[in-house]
């Protein structure tokens, strides 16, 4: 894996280089053991487009919790056609119905952390076991909890073996306006719920419209202190 010094140097370099250069570095370094994970927010779509335009054939995956909006499911099909790719859906072991039998109905109302663990974190862990680099669409501007992310980070994936996974956030510096300018300019399909005032779109039970002055993720898990589903917090950051 990459040393802390190398990661520091790469972070400095990626701060100023175009996003496609960061993606090209990842492709040269990891090939298809690097993959783009997306929930189809705007930044992820920009990143997929930049990768395709530059001949970087990263696998793309999404977490299908079984509780996504119909608009999100329809968008996945549209994007597969638009980009000419297959997007792998990672699904939880428990269906929504089985989860209700095991943990009680509407777990998201009582214990959203457990619900997110079952429906998002565990499926992602299964995927990361086969990857060296996870490419995300995180942006610093999205929320306070994301304001200090690096463009490249290293995480301890398996405390027993010591195996690390590189997390690449090539969109870290992009603003919301820049993302939307890009999507419109290149006529990339996006979630129509965005036009209805949803700043960040996840599962139906945990997504509301955010106020105009709130951060983009303010509509997620309203009524709870929770601001992250857990996929970005379950691993310890090494560097
Ligand atoms: S976002 Fe809500 S419904 Fe979706 S997995 Fe998390 S708690 Fe469950």
pTM of the model: 0.95
Tally of domains in the chain: 1
β-bridge partners, 135: 36, 168
Q: What is the pLDDT of residue 212?
A: 66
Q: 108: CA distance to ligand 1 center in Å? A: 6
Q: pLDDT digit string (tens) for 190-227?
A: 999 999 988 889 999 999 887 666 777 767 777 777 78
Query: Is residue 109 one of the residues assigned to a domain?
Result: yes
Query: Is residue 218 one of the residues assigned to a domain?
Result: no
Active site residues: 229
Q: pLDDT digit string (tens) for 33-74?
A: 999 999 999 999 999 999 999 999 999 999 999 999 999 999
Q: pLDDT digit string (tens) for 76-102?
A: 999 999 999 999 999 999 999 999 999
Query: Is residue 90 one of the residues assigned to a domain?
Result: yes
Residue ranges around ligand 1 (CB below 6 Å): 65, 67, 108, 112, 115-116, 119-120, 202-203, 205-206, 229
Query: Is residue 205 one of the residues assigned to a domain?
Result: no
Please give the full DSSP string across 132-174, using - where no structure is assigned.
Answer: SEEE----GGG-GGGTT--SEEEEEEETTTTEEEEEE-TTTT-
- The CA distance from 141 to 172, in Å, is 8
Q: Which atom of ligand 1 is nearest to the CA of 120?
A: 5
Domain residues for the domain of 152 are 4-195+232-237
Assign residue 68 the CATH number of its domain: 3.40.50.620
Q: Give, using CA atoms, the residue closest to atom 6 of ligand 1.
A: 116
Query: Is residue 30 one of the residues assigned to a domain?
Result: yes
Query: Is residue 108 one of the residues assigned to a domain?
Result: yes
Query: Is residue 158 one of the residues assigned to a domain?
Result: yes
Query: Is residue 216 one of the residues assigned to a domain?
Result: no
Per-residue pLDDT band for 228 (boundaries 50, 70, 90) equals confident
Q: 206: CA distance to ligand 1 center in Å? A: 6
Q: 117: CA distance to ligand 1 center in Å? A: 9
């Amino acid at each position: 894996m990459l040393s802390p010094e190398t990661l520091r140097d790469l972070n400095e370099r990626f701060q100023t280089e175009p996003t496609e250069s960061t993606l090209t570095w990842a492709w040269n370094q990891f090939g298809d053991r690097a993959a783009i994970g997306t929930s189809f927010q705007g930044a992820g779509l920009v990143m997929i487009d930049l990768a395709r335009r530059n001949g970087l054939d990263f696998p793309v995956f999404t977490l299908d919790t079984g509780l996504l909006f119909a608009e999100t499911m329809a968008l996945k099909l549209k994007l597969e056609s638009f980009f000419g790719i297959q997007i792998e859906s990672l699904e939880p072991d428990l269906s929504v119905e089985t989860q209700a039998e095991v943990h009680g109905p509407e777990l998201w109302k009582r214990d959203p952390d457990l619900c997110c663990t079952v429906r998002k974190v565990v499926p992602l862990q299964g995927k990361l076991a086969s990857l060296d680099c996870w490419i995300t669409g995180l942006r610093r501007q999205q929320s306070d909890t994301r304001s200090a992310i690096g463009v490249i980070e290293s995480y301890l994936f398996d405390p027993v073996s010591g195996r690390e996974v590189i997390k690449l956030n090539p969109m870290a510096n992009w603003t919301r306006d820049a993302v939307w300018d890009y999507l419109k300019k290149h006529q990339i399909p996006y979630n129509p719920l965005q036009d209805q005032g949803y700043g960040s779109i996840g599962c139906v039970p945990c997504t509301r419209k955010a106020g105009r002055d709130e951060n983009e993720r303010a509509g997620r898990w309203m009524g709870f202190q929770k601001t992250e589903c857990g996929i970005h917090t379950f691993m310890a950051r090494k560097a």
